[in-house]
Each structure stands twice: as structure tokens, then as C-alpha cells.
Amino acid sequence: MATPQEYDRRIAGALEGNTEFKVSTAAEGKLLLKQIVQVQKELRQIKKEIGLTVKDLRGQYADQKAKVGKGGFGTGVMQGLFGKKAVGGMNAAQKNKIRQNQDKQLDPYEDLQRKVDRLVLEYDSHKLKIEGWIAQQKD
């Protein structure tokens, strides 16, 4: 499972050399459009991989939350000593802690997904500008 930093490096690698959008001929413009489309494909692929990582992490946390309060003999003893309400409260607190850890671990991945979305949209606007410039050259 890749870390957020690894995904961030991959995003930076996909963008490397693809931040200048200056052309002087229509042929250069068409080539640049193809490069932009390729970068967008790479970014979308990275986003899919991030999504799979997030899904896997959520599954792990779901398993942890499902195990809370399932203990058999130990749970019965706890309920006998402290009462059902107290044990239920402890279980809820433990699930809450697991949920907080999950949110803390997933936040960087979700930030990266938003970053990829923003970059794809930014590249779409560059494509429109280049297409408009190419159309003006033909006139």
C-alpha cells in the first residue's frame, strides 16, 4: 500500500515538464493537446489507485470496529462487573477512537484525490485555450 507521499511524488512526476503551455504553430498546439490528454490519463490512473487504497483502509477499519465488543466470556464478565450500559459506553468510545484514527489516516489520501481533480480541471481549461488558439490560426 503506497503512502500519501509516494502518490504525491507520482503526481509531481506526471506533471514534470508539462507545465509550459506556449506554442507557436498549430502543429505544436496539437502535440501539446495530446500531451495534456496523456497527463490527464496518468492523473486519473493515480486517482483510481488512491481510491483503491482508501477503500482498503476503510475495510480494515470496518473490521476493527466490528470486533469491538465481541469477546465472548470477557464481555460477559465486564457486563457483570460494570453493567451493560457502562460496557456499551466503553465500546462506543472505542469505536469512536477507531473512527478518529481512520479519519486521520484517510485525510491525506482524500486531499490528494481533490488535488488530482483540481489538476485535471486546470488542464481542461488549458486544453480549451489551446484549442481556441488553434482555431484562430486556421481563420
User: Would you write out the chain's pLDDT as a tens digit for each of its 139 residues?
Assistant: 889 999 999 999 998 877 777 888 888 889 999 999 999 999 999 999 999 999 999 999 888 888 877 766 566 666 666 777 777 778 888 888 989 999 999 999 999 999 999 999 999 999 999 999 888 887 6
pLDDT at 19: 72
**Cβ-defined contacts of 36-42 (< 8 Å, 24+):** 36/123, 36/126, 36/127, 36/130, 37/127, 39/14, 39/15, 39/123, 40/120, 40/123, 40/124, 42/14
Domain ranges of the chain: 4-138
Residues 98, 65 contacting (CB under 8 angstroms):
yes
pTM, to two decimals: 0.80
